[in-house]
Amino acid sequence: MNHSLIDAWRSDFPILQSRIHDRTLVYLDNAATTQKPSAVIQAINDYYSTTNANVHRGVYSLGQQATDLFENTREAVRKFIGATSTSEIIFTKSATESINLVASSYGEVHFSAGDEIILTMMEHHANIIPWQEISKKKGCTIKVVPIQQDGTLDIEAYKNLFTSKTKFVSMVWVSNAIGVENPISDFIRIAHDHNVPILIDASQRIQHANIDVQKEDCDFLVFSGHKVYGPSGTGILYGKEHLLEYLPPYQSGGDMIKKVTFEKTTFADLPSKFEAGTPNIEGFIGLGAALQYLQSIGLDEIAKHESMLMNFAIEALRSLDFISILGYNGTNVSAISFVMDTVHPHDIASILDKKGICVRAGHHCAHPLMQFYKVPSTTRISFAMYSTVDEIEVCIKELKEIYTLFS
């Protein structure tokens, strides 16, 4: 990859110039959150400096400008994921809230006692607990697609989980814990063969390669803005219009109504029906700037660079006989989880921190997957568009030193 191109990308992210413990920052926790380019920081700053007003309310021009900026992001998201209409793009505060919305509202009208919901063994807790909660309320059962040692979901077992009681499938596209990318086209086709809708958690996919919800035929798709170089507190729920249309609101209050009396309320049309209260205006304006920034670079370019990083890191880690990589099947996208003989992941992460290197140690909000691998936690390194081979080399050198120190 062209070094000057990556240097140019890096110069768009002010935080990468920071020093931590007097070392150059090496940020390898991008699956937790991505850093923000100047375009995003500037868009938020500009909004507060020049355009701040509440949205969807003011007849005055400042309010209209704020509304236009905010709604421009809805159109940017629509284009980014290939949705048909902006009515299908619901603004939430996070991927977590988007999944809660679907589990609660879809479950409320469509689930009843004895129904079954299919999840997979590699889900983030955000895609487990909302389904457990609605299951408790409605008397549903959760079934789980098993996983193989290399992180591949067992698609034959998945086919066999369907019964006449299956009402919903919800699954992750790319695992945050091990980085495996699931063949969602196959999973979606199989769900649809059984007339069952499916939600795709794209939180770890949206930032790494192009997405086309129509081509994939996703019924619902969710992600968080902060993982795609945008601000925290922004989330997206995409849903097919005919499915969203019949769901009850998730929350209620201002900005989501047509008419209110003390006897009765009629709700606004999509997408407002699901957006009660003053939203994270500056956050969504920032998210629009992030998507525009990514499109100016091209996700294909980013995917090429990240794939090179992944191959380099896997080879380097595999050459270390004291490291075991968990869940690598060759599809992995920008995240590698591993354990080191004799050294606890938290010790690794704390020592790396002293060298200015940020990595994640823990269960990655994926307890069931950790139980499958019989480990309490792992160390995870995860890349973004601005990550470099040099950063991976620095990290690997320090890992060798940590192992020597502990043995």
Q: Catalytic positions, please?
A: 365
Contact pattern from residue 214 through residue 253 relative to ligand PMP, giving x for each residue in contact according to CB under 6 A and a dash for the rest: ----------x-----------------------------
Q: Work out which of 73, 204, 280, 388 binds ligand PMP, going by CB under 6 A.
A: 204
Q: Is 124 in the site for ligand PMP (CB under 6 A)?
A: yes
Residues 152-181 touching ligand PMP, rule: CB under 6 A, are 172, 176
Binding region for ligand PMP (CB under 6 A) out of 36-44, 201-209, 256-264, 396-404: 201-209
What's the closest the beta carbon of residue 223 comes to ligand PMP, in angstroms?
8
What's the closest the beta carbon of residue 333 comes to ligand PMP, in angstroms?
11
Spatial separation of the C-alpha atoms in residues 329 and 180, rounded to whole Å: 7
β-strand pairing of 166-172 with 141-145: unpaired
Q: Which is nearer to ligand PMP, 116 or 123 (CB)?
A: 123
Binding region for ligand PMP (CB under 6 A) out of 5-13, 105-113, 122-130, 245-253: 122-130
Binding region for ligand PMP (CB under 6 A) out of 70-78, 197-205, 281-289, 295-303: 197-205
Q: Is 96 in the site for ligand PMP (CB under 6 A)?
A: yes
Q: Is 94 in the site for ligand PMP (CB under 6 A)?
A: yes
Q: Which is nearer to ligand PMP, 230 or 356 (CB)?
A: 230
Half-sphere exposure for 38 (CA within 13 Å, toward CB): 9
Q: Is 126 in the site for ligand PMP (CB under 6 A)?
A: yes
Residues 308-347 touching ligand PMP, rule: CB under 6 A, are none
Spatial separation of the C-alpha atoms in residues 277 and 254, rounded to whole Å: 5
Q: Is 370 in the site for ligand PMP (CB under 6 A)?
A: no
What's the closest the beta carbon of residue 92 comes to ligand PMP, in angstroms?
9
Binding region for ligand PMP (CB under 6 A) out of 49-57, 69-77, 120-128, 369-377: 120-128
SS (H, E, C) the chain: CCHHHHHHHHHCCHHHHCEECCEECEECECCCCCCCCHHHHHHHHHHHHHHCCCCCCCCCHHHHHHHHHHHHHHHHHHHHHCCCCHHHEEEECCHHHHHHHHHHHHHHHHCCCCCEEEEECCCCHHHCHHHHHHHHHHCCEEEEECECCCCCECHHHHHHHCCCCEEEEEEECECCCCCCECCHHHHHHHHHHCCCCEEEECCCCCCCCCCCHHHHCCCEEEEEHHHHCCCCCCEEEEECHHHHCCCCCCCCCCCCEEEECCCCEEECCCCHHHCCCCCCHHHHHHHHHHHHHHHHHCHHHHHHHHHHHHHHHHHHHHCCCCEEEECCCCCCCCEEEEEECCECHHHHHHHHHHCCEECEEECCCCHHHHHHHCCCCEEEEECCCCCCHHHHHHHHHHHHHHHHHHC
Binding region for ligand PMP (CB under 6 A) out of 70-78, 92-100, 158-166, 267-275: 92-100
Q: Is 147 in the site for ligand PMP (CB under 6 A)?
A: no
CB atoms within 10 A of CB 15: 12
What's the closest the beta carbon of residue 321 comes to ligand PMP, in angstroms?
30
Q: Which is nearer to ligand PMP, 66 or 118 (CB)?
A: 118
Backbone angles phi, psi at 161, to 5 degrees: -80, -20
Q: Which is nearer to ligand PMP, 67 or 92 (CB)?
A: 92
Q: Is 290 in the site for ligand PMP (CB under 6 A)?
A: no
Binding region for ligand PMP (CB under 6 A) out of 47-55, 89-97, 138-146, 267-275: 89-97
Q: Is 51 in the site for ligand PMP (CB under 6 A)?
A: no
**Amino acid identity of 65?**
Q
Q: Which is nearer to ligand PMP, 176 or 388 (CB)?
A: 176
Q: Work out which of 170, 203, 334, 387 binds ligand PMP, going by CB under 6 A.
A: 203
**Interface residues toward ligand PMP, by CB under 6 A:** 94-96, 124, 126-127, 172, 176, 201, 203-204, 224, 365
